[in-house]
Amino acid sequence: MEFILAQIFGGIALLLVVVSYFWKDKKVFLMLQVIANIFYGLSFVFSSALVFGINSFISIVRVIVLYVYEKKNMSPPIYLVIPFVLSYLTVGIIFYQQPIDIIGIFTPMLFTIAMWMKNMQLVRYLMLLPNALLVLSALLYSAYTTALLDAVEIVAVVVAIITFHLKKHNTKWLL
């Protein structure tokens, strides 16, 4: 039953994440990411990947903090990155089970850096590496829909990068 629930939660997260990358408004992007991270974290918890699951829940707090700043049209102070990085590291130390958990410690740190950027195109570029690492780790934890989520997220990010790049440079003829 836990395996099936992990796959269902991963599938729901997949839909939400893909949709989020096609919003130009960072507030909507962040809100969809919050909801997706709930299901994403549950998928990992039900796959017994505690470092990944718990760090996903911490990431929800990170995205909410960013959303609040974005809603006020303010940039979040860079020093707020530190508590998140320390939280991810602490969870990794406490719940470490196997070497693949190192990815579960460092990918949310990379996502934090990416999401702290104001420029959505830069955010999209910076999402590629941690998502690639998460595909590998999700497969190793048998969280298959979560792995699919991260693989599809990579494709969605690439499509969004191309779409917004073409719009910005008015080069629709390339499609």
Condensed to tens digits (0 to 9), the pLDDT of residues 59-94 reads 999 989 988 998 899 989 999 999 999 999 999 999
**Paired tokens of 54:** 């718990």
- 95, 124 Cβ separation under 8 angstroms: no
Q: Cβ distance 58 to 49 under 8 Å?
A: no
Find the helix or strand (DSSP H, E) in which 19 lies.
Answer: helix 2-20
Distance CA 145, CA 47 (A): 11
Confidence band of 171 (pLDDT split at 50, 70, 90)? low
